[in-house]
Structure 1
Amino acid sequence: MDTGHSPSKRQLTSMAKIALTEKEHEICSLLNNVADHIHTTTNQQLTLRIAGGWVRDKLLGLASHDIDIAVDHMSGYTLAHHVTTYMQTHSLATSSVGKINSNPERSKHLETATTKVLGHLVDFVHLRSETYKEDSRIPLVEFGTPEEDARRRDITINALFYNLQTREVEDFTGRGLKDLQEGVVRTPMDAEQTFRDDPLRVLRVLRFASRFGYEIDGETARAMHRVEVRQDLDKKISRERVGVEVEKMAAGERPLLAVQLILRFNLFECVFRAPPRDMWTNDVAVDAAAAESVSRCMLRVLDGALLHAHIPSQYDVTLRDRRALILASYVFPFHAAVAADRKRQAPVALLVVRDGLKLPTNDADTVAAVHTLAPRITEMAALCCAGPVERNTLGHLVRDAGARWVIATLFAAAVELHNGKSADQVVATFSAFMGAVKDAELEDAYKMKHIVNGRDVATLLKCRTGPGIKPVLDRVMDWQLAHPRGTHDECREFIVKEIAPHMPL
């Protein structure tokens, strides 16, 4: 599979050293002082470790701000309170301690406490072991050793620890550093058991493999292909947790590889859960493979800068826009489908994002909007290539699209690439559209206010304000778009001469 990226590899050793920033050094020293204070006052010996992603990223030379402290012989919540008390006695700023409770029914097995340490948000958890009864997938979580804790984590490169006392990296799986060096994603324990314990780990494997461009270990891959694992992911994991992983994939460095892996492991229907077919109001085929093709084309438009020179200078394609366009590409297979939704109809793609992934309504609306607008913009772009287009025709499309008209144009370009058009054809077509909008000074047409408002219209037509005024206001806007230099008085004259005579008495 062509990922477009080679795996990130580093020369690492079992005694790999981590270079702390000044702030990290201060945090580690303070936490060690807290542990020493607890030992002095209670005779309880604690070892504090930074766990997981921070260790991995620091070893890869990446900045990391997610500090998770794992403690033995004490709950993370209790330790967090010890930390805030210690800081208060030393006149340091503190914040309240938050607690995120475990939710075993949703495969979230570990209670987490969070508070600020020297202004930096830090999470606290206890080292844990998990045991399962044969008839239950909900574990008994107990205090554990670092070896037990490491084995219960999702993948080996996330199971590394940084010991605050010794200032050394600890690899209790015996594979984490080697896998990090060789670019391999694997589970610390038996892969199938790991996924049955917490099925979300399947998506985390995909996310980290795509994030770093790493290979998935053979045993891990075979377990991910098992039907039972997919069923557990579909049934046991909340849609919110699935949505978090998909959102991170879409915002990651290799979103194309992410969707390729989802398709490779036959997870498309499970990840992008659509309403039941009996709720659909049209019968359309869903080609999951289109998600990969459109994503590839979308990245050609975004990263290849095919149309960047033609984007209006006042518009920036933000990281949020980019993520939304990738999401729209992921769910493109549903672009023509419609389903019943709360006594009305809605695009299935919107429902997948809103309900299937539990992402914000604005994300769902953006996805639905670019899907709907893309064919309209493509049609308009073809007209612009053929010759001049009336200003009000262009203006109405920009107004209908609103602030999303630019990203909808980029998405339309990606869909045309997907449909087989060449890059030169796509650039020629959509640059003509963007150029026409610019030449007509319609880039911000969606912000235009009516030059004659509803109250004035009602006065001129001797009628009441209300919904009945809207068709008149639509004609007012049409006149404005056709007459960019038109004045208030000229518009009033248009209303009196062209509209008033046709109003019912």
Structure 2
Amino acid sequence: MQSVAAALDRLGELAASPTVAKLAAAFEASGHELALVGGPVRDAFLGRPVSDLDFTTDATPDEILAIVKPIAEAHWDIGRAFGTIGAKIAGETVEITTYRADAYDGDSRKPEVAFGSSLEDDLTRRDFTVNSLALRLPKLELVDPSGGVEDLVAGVLRTPAAPEQSFGDDPLRMLRAARFASQLGFEVEDSTRRAMDDLAPAIERISAERVRDELSKLLLTGAPRRGIRLLVESGLADLVIPEVPALRLERDEHHRHKDVYEHSIMVLEQAIDYEKSRGVLDSPDLVVRLAALMHDIGKPATRRYEPGGSVSFHHHDVVGAKLARKRLRALRFDNDTIAAVSRIIELHLRFFGYTDGAWSDSAVRRYVRDAGDQLERLHIVSRADVTTRNRRKADQLGFAYDDLEERIAVLAEEEELAAVRPELDGQQIMAILGLAPGPIVGEAYKFLLEVRLDEGPIGTDAATERLRAWWASREPAGA
């Protein structure tokens, strides 16, 4: 947290930038107010990078357009119905929104949009005091009607209005509390926290798309543990992603198993570390984080008590993949994300068989083939799934995975593993066997693919011989 003077200096430098200065001058010349608002002002106090430039004004959307058109390289009004106009000015993207005075009826999933006339009223309708800060332009006057600076100093999340009113107006703010708790490392103030417990059921008024977006932002923070815990402890997770709180399996004094909920959060944290340190994926990676958090969600449904005090979770990988697909569909995730996350969950146990004995080259090829374009993410989640406190065991698993990756690299260089396919394609198969297009061609292709996976490259001539032998061995009725 920077001092107020240091923060104002940073904001003064930002106000002097070509984009902000040009925008402020244009609004002043038009006789309208303009203020930099929310995240940029907050982050200036926190010493964090200032990225998105959000402004608010007393001008209507039509008036905003009239002001920005002469100074913008581009502009768009996709958010016009909500009072927001976007523009590109001096090379930077900005959003300018008319003061809001939204009304909620308590049942609708969306507010009835209404425009306001006062900056102070607009700020007190925002989600948290630390986001209810503004800098009037061009005179550089800090506006803080709700004590946001004090809460920034204290590291506290608090609503400007009574939390019951704020969350009743927009229940998504409860999820935003969890996200900002993780993003900023702040604690939720007591009365705000109690209101989350009491009003958690109201989250069901919110569309799946808005919930999805807020959960994604939480998972994409640098340290999502605090926010996930807040969702689970408040009861919100039971309503939006119930598979996660279900991981808190009760313990039987006669049976032993690790705390699956704590384990899953540790896997998520370790996956984030691997995601960053390996440097292969763009970080943060939502697929990695969803798969890490949800990799064991099949355990509650598959738990069995075994003789001798142990607990088993047979096939929890397959069950978990199905549950993940169902949940992510309900949250309106895109098909690619759903397919990737469920595939990683389905395969996340495969590696642990590697430590039972060295895999054949065929097994390594199949591992790569089954992972497909999710191989790097599978590497990360599989490595992160090792949370044992037994240092020797952890080292053994780490060395084993190092060995697996080395073997994959060698085979990839020798055999082009990323594009494993038979030496003969469908057209060649039909020409050799004298077949017309049909299911039998697919069967022949699958046979040759299995040969390729088992034995590696064998050449076109050998593949032709194997194909003819396979064809000759088929039952007459199937020929």
Q: What TM-score do the two structures reach when normalised by structure 1?
A: 0.79
For 1:51 and 1:252, locate their aligned partners in 2 and report how far apart those are by CA, in whole Å: 22
| Structure 1: 5+ residue stretches without partners | 1-8, 40-45, 88-92, 103-109, 275-284, 309-314, 339-344
> Hey, what's the Cα distance between the residues in 2 that align with 1:28 and 1:405?
44
Among 21, 24, 28, the alignment partner of 2:20 is: 28
- CA drift of 1:63 comes to 2.2
Residues 54-453 of structure 1: matches in 2 within 5 Å?
54-72=40-58, 74-75=59-60, 77-87=61-71, 94-100=73-79, 110-130=82-102, 141-173=114-146, 175-226=147-198, 229-234=199-204, 236-272=205-241, 286-287=246-247, 290-303=260-273, 316-319=280-283, 322-332=285-295, 334-335=297-298, 347-356=322-331, 358-379=332-353, 381-383=354-356, 386-387=357-358, 389-417=359-387, 422-441=393-412, 445-453=417-425
The answer to whether structure 1 residue 495 and structure 2 residue 455 are counterparts is no
SS at match of 1:440: helix
Hey, which of these two has a bigger chunk of helix by percent?
2
Deviation at 1:56, TM superposition (A): 0.9
Q: Structure 2: which 5+ runs fail to align?
A: 250-259, 302-319
Kindly state the Cα deviation for residue 116 of structure 1 after the two structures are TM-superposed: 2.0
8 Å Cα contact 1:71-1:126 kept in structure 2: yes
Confirm or deny: 8 A CA contact 2:422 2:445 kept in the other structure.
yes
Q: Find the aligned partners of 2:334 and 2:107 in 1 and give their Cα distance.
A: 37
Residue 116 of structure 1 aligns to a residue in which SS?
A: strand
Letter in 2 for 1:350: R
Instruction: Flag the 1:466–1:319 CA change in 2: closer, same or farther, 3 A.
Output: farther
Q: Name the amino acid aligned to 2:52.
A: D
Name the SS for the 2:387 alignment partner: helix
Contact 1:47/1:165 (CA < 8 Å) preserved in 2?
no
* Aligned amino acid, residue 434 of structure 1: E
- Aligned residue type for 2:330: D
Cα deviation, residue 10, structure 1: 2.9
Distance 1:397 1:260, change over 3 A: same
1:49 touches 1:71 (CA, 8 Å); kept in 2? Answer: yes
What displacement does 1:114 show?
1.7
> How many angstroms apart in 2 are the aligned matches of 1:395 and 1:264?
43
Structure-2 separation of matches of 1:413 and 1:481: 25
CA distance in 2, matches of 1:210, 1:136: 28
Measured at CA, do residues 238 and 132 of structure 1 come closer, stay the same or move farther in structure 2, by a change above 3 Å?
Answer: closer
**Inter-CA distance 273–360: structure 2 relative to 1 (3 Å threshold):** farther
CA 1:24–1:269: 2 relative to 1, 3 Å: farther
SS at match of 2:97: strand
Q: How far apart, in 2, do the equivalents of 1:33 and 1:480 lie?
A: 68
Q: 1:396 to 1:466 in 2, by over 3 A?
A: farther
Partner in structure 2 of residue 3 of structure 1: none
CA offset digits 1:261-313 (Å, max 9, x no partner): 21121221222267xxxxxxxxxx942574542131232254268995xxxxx
Corresponding residue number in structure 2 for 1:47 = 33
Q: How many residues align?
A: 446
Tell me: CA distance 1:440–1:185, structure 2 relative to 1, closer, same or farther (3 Å): same
Structure 1 residue 193: deviation in Å? 1.0
CA contact (8 A) 2:197 2:234 kept: yes
Partner Cα separation in structure 1 for residue 364 and residue 150 of structure 2: 58
Task: Give the 3 Å change call, closer, same or farther, for CA 377–23 of structure 1 in structure 2.
Answer: farther
The residue aligned with 2:317 is: none
Contact 1:157 1:180 in 2 (8 A): yes
| RMSD between aligned residues | 3.3
Distance, in Å, in 2 between the alignment partners of 1:299 and 1:425 is 21
Structure with bigger RCO (C-alpha 8 Å, 6+ apart): 1
What do the CA deviations read for 1:456-492 (whole angstroms, capped 9, x no partner)?
Answer: 2222223223222222222212323344452211221
Paired letter, 1:367: V
In the TM superposition, residue 206 of structure 1 has moved relative to its aligned partner by 1.0
User: Residues 500 and 188 from structure 1, CA distance in 2 versus in 1: closer, same or farther, beyond 3 angstroms?
Assistant: same
Residue 13 to residue 202, structure 1, CA distance change in 2 (3 Å)? farther
2: distance between equivalents of 1:503 and 1:460? 18
After superposition, the Cα gap between the structure-2 partners of 1:260 and 1:151, relative to the gap in structure 1 and judged at 3 Å, is same
Residue 317 of structure 1 aligns to a residue whose secondary structure is coil
Contact 1:295-1:326 within 8 A present in 2 as well = no
| Partner residue, 2:9 | 17
Q: What code does the residue aligned with 2:3 have? A: Q
Q: 1:400 to 1:130 in 2, by over 3 A?
A: closer
Letter in 1 for 2:56: A
